Chain A
Amino acid sequence: MTPVWLIARSVLIEAVRRKEIYAIVLISTLLIGAVMTVDFFNLEGLTKFYREVALQVMSAATGLTVIVLAARQLPREFENRTIYPLLAKPISRLTFLLGKLLGVMLAAAFCYGLFMLVFILGTFYLGGEIPVGLFLQFLYLQMLKMLLLAALSFWLSMVVNLDAAIALGVIFFFASSVMTNAFTLLYPFADPFGQGTITVLNYALPQLALLDLTEKTVHSEFWPPLNLGTMFALTAYAGFYILVFFGAAWYCFRRRPL
């Protein structure tokens, strides 16, 4: 087994053993279940509402899990002094960081997998259909988003303390769509300097809204899956920021004295 995989496996095992993921999935499932039990006027096939609530709850829960899990990986290794024996072995810091990232992503995938099971069962129970193409694209983009969040959280946890890293990650996660809207709507009102600033920010900051297919998946009867070119462009867009944040995290981690 490669060192990356070994480290990733330890992250995953720890995440699964701590039962936090189960608790998150359970609470979210209870919330979704409570929504499903409400009788909506004896109407059948009202799946949009279910899809919207379920997907939003699942995305938010997984996003929060990834931020918390990723942000605490490195500080805790330092705090518990478990990083020293690890790095004493012939493992580079890049390998260590890659292993951690892979582990966090495996935990996210595990969490999302449990959610998807609940979602698919719920959809069939309600007599609805799953728009397979769009849904698979939705899942893929969600994973890209989680990867971006994990890389960002790694970097934040290297430059600020744990609480602040989690708080900033959460703020970014929830405020990202507001930011995208703000760029579009404020631009016409801004003076030339303001417009220049908005343009720079538009390209400099990652916009998570671009990796969120929830709305199309909810209203799937009107929207076909995205074409391959768009998917490729989105992958490249997310990949760029993932590399930037991961690179920044690696740089800070390398410079950190043990």
Chain B
Amino acid sequence: MNGKKSSSRDRKGLSRTHILWALLAVFALSPAISANLQPSRYEGGRVKDEADIEARNTSAFALILGEIRANVSDLLFVKTELYLHSGVAYMPHLDYGEMAQTGEIEHRPAPTEDREPGTEFDFERHFREHQEEVGIVDHDDHDDEHAPTIIPPARQDFRGFIGELHRRVKPWRDPALAHIHTDGRELLPWYRLMTLSDPHHIRAYMIGAWWLKAQRSETQRKEAMRFLDEGVRNNPTAFQLYLMRGYMHNEDGNIELARDEFALAARHAAEQRPSQGPQHRDWTDYMEDDARGAVRMHVLLERELRNIERAIELSREYRAAMGEAVGFLNRIERDLEAMLEEE
């Protein structure tokens, strides 16, 4: 009887142990599959869509919630507004697309209008302009100086003495006065954290790299390049990152390296660009501008390296692929053909 009892217990124990061991064995091998299960990694989506980020974070509801956000992109949106205005909470008005593309804090030109994408002009001008905004500068010449503050001025506040205390306790400046802008240096840790937690946040790499460059030290310049390298490693098809690397190499005088980067940028851009261009929901004006810049730079650097025939060939290829969007190549191509004839 006792023997039977113990053997039945053994059998029961054995089978449970077997199941446990079997599960442990499967679990031991599970990383091979689980590492590839990444349902949160996908292209596009509203969370990273620039227009959507701006729309939702400027909504009344987002302003009421303050810094309470469910995703890092949105939190960074709020932090950027605060840090660049020395803590004063204005109604959101910074242009993040512009920031990612040129490093400028605000000022919204229409990206595709009357603006030739390209070489020295893009990089140098934008860099100079960015420098003007670095440091503590009072700006009197911005169109959006009168962006209202979230805490209203006394004349518009129904809250009486509570409103007055609120204005004194929180960083606040009369919206009628010029904004005080700081540089993006103190925001860099947020961008670092953001790319660490979401290595596919291309815009964070772009803005972070701009602000690193703006520090104007050799160390930070190298860091900017390393940051971009990391961005490219994590996002091998992000053409804007190749474009930025190209600009940096070009500025350093590494023309061949720059050309290679622009080639990659232009190739990826041409592959990704929808036929409708900026009319397509997922293709912004800034992407269009960057794509045109990449194409232009690639052709121009081939010219600079005296590969005239290759430059003409590329120009034709890009015109065939991108049509009217790269209409400026017609003039360049004519110049190239003239150069070829002269040679």
A49-B189 contact, Cβ under 8 Å, with A178-B68, A181-B64, A185-B63: yes
Across the interface, name the chain A residue whose C-beta is closest to B157. Answer: A184
Chain B residues with CB under 8 Å of A187's CB are: 158
A182, CB-defined interface residue at 8 Å: yes
Near A by CB (< 8 A), chain B positions 55-73 give 60, 63-66, 68
Contact across chains for A207 and B68 when beta carbons are under 8 A apart = no
A212-B192 contact, Cβ under 8 Å, with A199-B158, A219-B86, A219-B87: no
Contact across chains for A184 and B159 when beta carbons are under 8 A apart = yes
Contact across chains for A184 and B169 when beta carbons are under 8 A apart = no
A215-B170 contact, Cβ under 8 Å, with A41-B223, A49-B189, A184-B152: yes
Chain A residues with CB under 8 Å of B219's CB are: 42
Chain B residues with CB under 8 Å of A182's CB are: 64
B93, CB-defined interface residue at 8 Å: no
**Dominant SS among interface residues on chain A:** helix
> When chains A and B are docked, how far (Å) is the Cα of A46 from the Cα of B189?
8
**CB-CB contacts of A162-197 with B at 8 A, as 1s and 0s?**
000000000000000110111111110100000100
Q: Which of B65, B66, B180, B196 contacts A222 (CB 8 A)?
A: B180
Contact across chains for B64 and A40 when beta carbons are under 8 A apart = no
> When chains A and B are docked, how far (Å) is the Cα of A96 from the Cα of B58?
50
Contact across chains for B166 and A209 when beta carbons are under 8 A apart = yes
A226, CB-defined interface residue at 8 Å: yes
Contact across chains for A210 and B166 when beta carbons are under 8 A apart = yes
Chain A residues with CB under 8 Å of B227's CB are: 41
> When chains A and B are docked, how far (Å) is the Cα of A45 from the Cα of B87?
18
Q: Which of A40, A199, A215 contacts B171 (CB 8 A)?
A: A215
Size band of the A side of the interface? Answer: 35 or more
Chain A residues with CB under 8 Å of B168's CB are: 226, 230
Across the interface, name the chain A residue whose C-beta is closest to B215. Answer: A43
User: Which of A40, A203, A233: most chain B Cβ within 10 A?
Assistant: A40
Near B by CB (< 8 A), chain A positions 38-83 give 38, 40-43, 46, 48-49
Contact across chains for B60 and A185 when beta carbons are under 8 A apart = yes
Contact across chains for B188 and A46 when beta carbons are under 8 A apart = yes
Near B by CB (< 8 A), chain A positions 200-238 give 202-203, 207, 209-213, 215-216, 218-219, 221-223, 226, 230, 233-234, 237
Near A by CB (< 8 A), chain B positions 137-187 give 150-152, 157-159, 161-163, 165-166, 168-171, 180, 185-186
Q: Which of B159, B162, B186, B193 contacts A38 (CB 8 A)?
A: B193
A185-B150 contact, Cβ under 8 Å, with A41-B220, A180-B166: yes
Chain B residues with CB under 8 Å of A198's CB are: 158
Instruction: Please list the residues of chain A having a beta carbon within 8 angstroms of any beta carbon in chain B.
Output: 38, 40-43, 46, 48-49, 141, 177-178, 180-187, 189, 195, 198-199, 202-203, 207, 209-213, 215-216, 218-219, 221-223, 226, 230, 233-234, 237
Rank and list the top 8 A-B pairs by shortest CB-CB distance, nearest first: A219-B87, A49-B189, A41-B223, A48-B186, A222-B86, A40-B189, A181-B64, A182-B64
Instruction: Please list the residues of chain B having a beta carbon within 8 angstroms of any beta carbon in chain A.
Output: 60, 63-66, 68, 82-83, 86-87, 136, 150-152, 157-159, 161-163, 165-166, 168-171, 180, 185-186, 188-190, 192-193, 196, 212, 215, 219-220, 223, 227
